[in-house]
Structure 1
Amino acid sequence: MRSVIFTHQLYQPEKLFPFSLTKAVEELPAGMMNNRRRWEQIVERELQQGSGLYWFIPVNLLPSRQLVAQLKTFSEGDFLQLDKGGILIGYGRAATDFSGTPTGHIPESDADLIEYGWDIFEKNARLLRFDFELLTAGRQSAPVDDGNRLSTAGAVFIEEGADVRCAFINADKGPVYISRNALVMEGACIRGPVFIGEGAVVKMGTRIYGGTTIGAFCTVGGEIKNSVLFPFSNKAHDGYLGDSVIGSWCNLGAGTSNSNLKNTAGNIRVPLPSGVYTAGMKCGVLMGDYSKAAINSSFNSGTVTGICAHIFGAGLSPKWIPSFSWGYDAAIMYDLQKALEHLERWMQTKKQTITENEKALITQIYNQTKTKKS
């Protein structure tokens, strides 16, 4: 029985561009799982459940141990409210049940929400630590091959079927979780907190720093720090990726790197369709699903790309690369049929096939993008 109902009053999809184009907010990967799975596991394992009763939870609200402890005391009809109004989270039979005096107030500054794309990497290290507890509770790690060098072995969890040999894993600053059928090659250096998804490949000599999530069936190499790669994407060669979010089915060509810090050390401004927003001091690239970058691409700090962008050009990239761009010239669009054909071939490299639903969604976004250009 479904015991969680996700509500949508605390986020604006346009601020989560480009990821909200193709994914529901609760399905966005961060930490070691998406927010839907995270909350469903918390409710199933730790919170009260009753017949006909539901937990009403904002799709972009991130849990904490303090919040979960507070929710454990809830009875039917209890709810938390933001100081500025609005139901934050409640337990009852219908959303209309929550009236009267709230069980508690939460200052808006204390509500941990995914509101912008850069929140995904900024909050990823905390989520990795939180999710590690959820995923490893009551479970035993597979034995670690003697050829590996580990620090703080108790914070390293390796699933059965993972192949990890001659790697350096340091979990002093946070846990490391390596999923089944993942391959971590010789000389890889991993410094937690880090998550390696199912079937992912970490190539020889890769350096992965804390706050990083490598999604299922990704292939990675070079240097990666405080970044989230959604499933089925590649950053397979040398180059730097930092403080970034890369959507599904993306590819960064050999030598590609991004800037994540201004020479002035000032806050980075990020262009979105709804306006220009200020991120923190560090922000790399936010890349939508199905986009590809040519070899030796250089991404400016705070760069945003739409979906299905074919990215190439001289010098630093523009900070705004629309969906279906062909190179840096925003006036030229990637032909839809060629984009679908190329994506079909790309998916075959990972033994996947594009679905009719994916084709329909990509076509819809293409038509919307073309209409805006005309």
Structure 2
Amino acid sequence: MIINLFDDTAWESLRPLTLTRPVADLRIGILTIAEKWARTLNAEKGFVTQPYLQLKYPALSRAELFINGSVCPDPLLIEAITCLKSGEQLEYNSILLAFKISVNDDPATVLPGSLKPVRYTTAITKVSYPEDIFKWNDSELKKDFQLITKGRSSAAIDSSNALIGEDIFLEEGAETYCATLNSKSGPIYLGKNSQIWEGTNIRGSFALCEHSQVKMGTKIYGQTTIGPYCRVGGEINNAVIWGYSSKGHEGYLGNAVLGQWCNIGADSNNSNLKNNYAEVKLWDYAKEGFRKTGLQFCGLIMGDHSKCGINTMFNTGTVTGVSANVFGAGFPRNFIPDFAWGGAQGFEVYSLPKMFETAKKVFERRDMIFDETEQGILEAVFNSTKQYRHF
């Protein structure tokens, strides 16, 4: 099967996380949304997204089935989508969930409402705002754990570990020594060639994706996902880190989402609860203002390529855009625009040449090339976010 995952208006409300990727490329649980659909449908996947992202995330020309990239699969929804006939679209209230066309049809000519509607009435898991990722990470992690491990056996777990519960699965090459792993509240998954170092305490649900490392003495609470090629330490609670990012030192990260290529300096902390226990508001790119989240606990949302220096303090409900560099004493503002350079004492524009110079070095450390495609995406983000940089 060949599928394309399309962006809807969630792409706008999920910024800054989606400024550098389609919605379906967001990680929630163990897998990205696109990976979930590809696995469950045994399908080859493509993306229908913003023009400046299509070179990196191409659409597949032979696809007949198009699925909303902000919606996570579940058994009933999978059944409803696979039962669609050519010329039909599946709808949940006003949300277009999926549509099917003939292989000879041009999807660009398919207008909303032009296909025969099929109603879907069961509740769905739709990622519409950044906080939805950590809010629903626990339930998605448990579903992904079942999807990935069903019918398989875990690699051996060294006897030096203290194991509480039985829902612990290690992929080939995963290592953990002298750690406490408690899966009574949720499963613990260690991806291929991942490592948990000595003295770590982990409480499920928890996922450590391939080639990532948890440093000595780390404390990780449930509902947390560390994506591939990351290194983490300190104290982490209900957080999702996409991949290729580091929080390698002491400091607290909670109710948070970090994108790719981020780095959190030593002894940096985010607050996830206001002193007056009031509802947390988050910056909304579309509104150009703050939006009520309905949450009492909400920490840091950080876009790709952003970094902070040592001892950085993030207020409750801080949104940091793409390619921001934050440092200095005091609390910076609750919205740090894309390509901002500075901190509580003030910001200036983080110029593209300067940012590219750093990104090239970061990629080289991973034996990767910061190519023209990556540069083109960041240049497009830089230009499209100018209105938020009021320095």
TM-score for both structures, normalised by structure 2: 0.85
The answer to whether structure 1 residue 336 and structure 2 residue 352 are counterparts is yes
Counterpart for residue 302 of structure 1 = 317
Matched residue type, 1:8: D
Q: Could you say which residue in structure 1 is the equivalent of 2:226?
A: 214
In structure 2, stretches of 5+ residues that fail to align are 44-61
Partner in structure 1 of residue 362 of structure 2: 346
- Aligned with 2:216 (options 187, 204, 210): 204
Q: Taking structure 1 as the reference length, what is the TM-score of the superposition?
A: 0.89
Task: Say which SS state the counterpart of residue 225 (structure 2) adopts.
Answer: strand
2:6 counterpart of 1:7: yes
CA RMSD in angstroms, aligned pairs only: 2.4
Deviations 1:100-155 (A, max 9, x none): 562x4327xx33211111111111111100111111122221011111111222x1
Please point out which of 115, 129, 142 is paired with 1:129: 142
**Is 1:321 equivalent to 2:336 in the alignment?**
yes
For each residue in 1:311-342, what CA deviation from the matched residue of structure 2 results, as whole angstroms up to 9, or x when unmatched?
A: 01322221010112111255511232222112
**Displacement of 1:4 after TM fit?**
1.7
Q: Contact 2:217–2:233 (CA<8 Å) still a contact in 1?
A: yes
Contact 1:79 / 1:89 at 8 angstroms: preserved in 2?
yes
Structure 2: how far apart are the matches of 1:265 and 1:371?
Answer: 32
Q: Distance in 2 between matches of 1:87 and 1:126?
A: 23
How has the CA–CA distance of structure 1 residues 190 and 74 changed in structure 2, closer, same or farther, with 3 Å as cutoff? same
Asked if structure 2 preserves the Cα contact closer than 8 Å seen for 1:294 and 1:311, the reply is: yes
Check if 1:172 corresponds to 2:184.
yes
Correspondence 1:80 to 2:90: yes
Unaligned runs of 5+ in 1: 46-51
2:245–2:259: 8 Å Cα contact kept in structure 1?
yes
1:22 aligns with 2:20: yes
Q: Which SS does the other structure have where 1:327 is aligned?
A: strand
Taking the aligned partners of 2:349 and 2:374, their CA distance within structure 1 comes to 19
Residues 252 and 74 of structure 1: CA distance in aligned 2, closer, same or farther (over 3 Å): same
- State the identity %: 35
1:358-369 matches, cutoff 5 A: 358-369=374-385
Matched residues in 1 for 2:97 and 2:183: separation? Answer: 34
- Measure how far apart 1:99 and its partner are: 4.5
1:121 is paired with a residue of what secondary structure?
helix
SS at match of 2:153: coil
Contact 1:53 1:76 in 2 (8 A): no
Mapped partners of 1:76, 1:371: distance in 2: 43
Q: Deviations over 1:262-320 (max 9, x none)?
A: 12222111112222211111111110111111111110111011111110132222101
Residues 330 and 129 from structure 1, CA distance in 2 versus in 1: closer, same or farther, beyond 3 angstroms? same
1:49 is matched with none
Distance of 1:65 and 1:121 partners within structure 2: 22
Write the letter of the residue equivalent to 1:324. F
d(CA) in 1 for partners of 2:173, 2:337: 40
Report Cα offsets for 1:165-199 as digits up to 9, x if no partner. Answer: 11111111111110111111011111111110111
Query: Separation in 2 of the partners of 1:176 and 1:263?
Result: 32
* Count of matched residue pairs: 361
> Given the alignment of the two structures, is residue 63 of structure 1 paired with residue 73 of structure 2, yes or no?
yes
Q: 1:201, 1:100 → 2: CA distance?
A: 49
